[in-house]
Chains A and B, each alone.
Chain A
Amino acid sequence: MNIKILGTGCAKCQRLEQLTREVVAELGIEAEFDHVRDMKVIMAYPVMTTPALVIDDEVVVFGRMPGKDEIAGWLKQT
């Protein structure tokens, strides 16, 4: 599974990565992480604002901070 966090390095983005890593560890999933900081690459995704979470090249959330349960739900679906 490939997980991308889109963010320009703001505090929220760091925190989203940290939360997602925690959830991944709790669920025991194999996943590679990628923190995308380049504005041009970020804008190639259908997002308007950061932070955004992308699982297997599909944007699951952007512009707000999801809770751990939500993240776990998305991870289980894919």
Chain B
Amino acid sequence: MDILIAALQSGAASLASYLAAHVLLCLVPAFFIAGGLSALVPQRSIVRFLGPDAPKYVAYPAAAGAGSLLAVCSCTVQPLFAGIYSKGAGLGPAITFLFFAPAANILALSYTGVALGADFAIARIVLALCFGIGIGMLMALLFRRGDAERTAANAAAFTGGDGISRKTLIFLGTLVALLISGTLKVDWLTAPLFGTVLHWDGVSAAQAVLDRLVPVNQIKGEEGLSLQGLTLIGLLLAIGAAAWRGLGQVDAGFSRLTWLALGLTAVTLVFAALGVQAGTSGLTITVTGRTLAVAVLCATVLPLARRFDAWDMQQWLWETWRFISMIFPLLVVGVFLVGVARSFIQPEWIRFIAGSNTLLANLAGVVFGIFMYFPTLVEVPIARMFLSLGMHPGPLIAYLMADPELSLQSILITAAIIGKLKAWTYVGLVAVFSTLAGLTYGAWVDGTSLGTLALIIGGFMLALTAAVQLIERAQRAPAR
């Protein structure tokens, strides 16, 4: 019985600290950005670089760009993958797109940055980019015969289409600035500007109750729940209640609930950026650079949004809400279960299997990633749990690379589009490259200089590019 209570408490604790600490300044703006990318950026603006005649040096980066800008959810990934493969730039760029999309979309990236640290987010995107392009080229190389026989594409799907308009760029840029200013840990953002004390005698008693319910445990990385966190969870619930109809039915027109939901969101973001400390005599409220930056940016979003048609803004909010209602419930359940599971896993096990940066440890990370299927983004809290249990950052990156890319479900979908042989070759390559990525990052953490590693990866990429170019040329020669 005690074990069960401890497990449930561990789950509740991880959920509470997750909702209070990680969601707000990172995930809320990220959802709005994802909605904006999906609703305001015309897919043609990027797809036009992926036509059948696009040169390789344009197609591969464009495929990566499409992965991070267009594919926030798997329902976009599948058709776009099939499109690039069968009509456009071919197998290589399609594979690059498939590999890069889950690691580099705005939601995954910002959540990784906040939950695990900026260096993990940067490592994830850089390694995914290098190895995504690498795997794409290798696949193109291995299956070059079959690829040449693809049906001639209809050019109409690639020509035309406008670029991304300036107002969209400015609008999305402001939202990204909001996300960054809410999460970045630099001096001018964290420096306190002025503060005040709200006198309230019950404050330490209230905090003590919270500490008993959600104990702080530094060793296990459990952060506990502050009074501010509790207020934020309350505000989140209020936003959810208002947004249910306010954003969910925004396509029928803006209602009062829409404005209420948006207003509450802005208030919550600013409140989350305040420093609130419970003392003996009351609450110390500190206004920091972050508070100001978040408030100013929230206020700028409104006039920028007014420059769009009402239809575009309705689309934006509708898409945003669709992402939230699709991903958020899974995340909440996932984080709770991770918390429950955590109380059963002994740190010694993890340290024994993946405590140092060895080949075997990295392979273990990859194998775990392939056989476990977690919904979008849940891989991040799981990685966080492993990190706090003592997993080495190298195998952790190997796991983070393999898990979202490979699951039985995605392998089956891929196989249906490109065939079994290619799909399983892809799986093998991802496993190998994820292990390599883990070893690389682990070596960097252990002190190998960045220059050496960049040289190795750069040399590897150059060799691969050269090989692909040479074979292309050799293949074209007899045709003349």
Chain A interface residues (CB < 8 Å from chain B): 8, 10-12, 15, 39, 42-43, 46-50, 59, 62-65, 67
Contacts and interface: CB of A to CB of B under 8 A. Distances in A.
A39 B42 contact: no
Interface in B13-47: 39, 42-44, 47
Contacts of B84: 48
Interface of B: 39, 42-44, 47, 50, 70, 75-76, 78-80, 82-84, 86-88, 154, 156-158, 251, 309, 311, 315, 322, 416-417
A39 B79 CA distance: 8
Given A43-B87, A63-B47, A50 B39 contact: no
Contacts of A42: 79
A11 B39 CA distance: 13
B4 to A, nearest CB: 38
Nearest to B39: A65
Contacts of A50: 79
Interface centre among B70, B79, B84, B311 (most CB of A within 10 A): B79
Interface centre among B47, B50, B75, B158 (most CB of A within 10 A): B75
6 contacts: A10-B75, A42-B79, A46-B87, A48-B44, A48-B79, A63-B42
A48 B83 CA distance: 5
A48 B315 contact: no
A39 B417 contact: yes
B42 A64 contact: yes
A12 B322 CA distance: 10
Interface centre among A11, A39, A43, A63 (most CB of B within 10 A): A63
Contacts of B42: 63-64
A23 to B, nearest CB: 14
B43 A43 contact: no
A48 B80 contact: yes
Contacts of A63: 42-44, 47
B75 A48 contact: no
A48 B88 contact: yes
Contacts of A8: 75, 78-79
A63 B79 CA distance: 10
A67 B47 contact: no
A49 B79 contact: yes
A10 B251 CA distance: 17
Nearest to A46: B154
Contacts of B315: 65
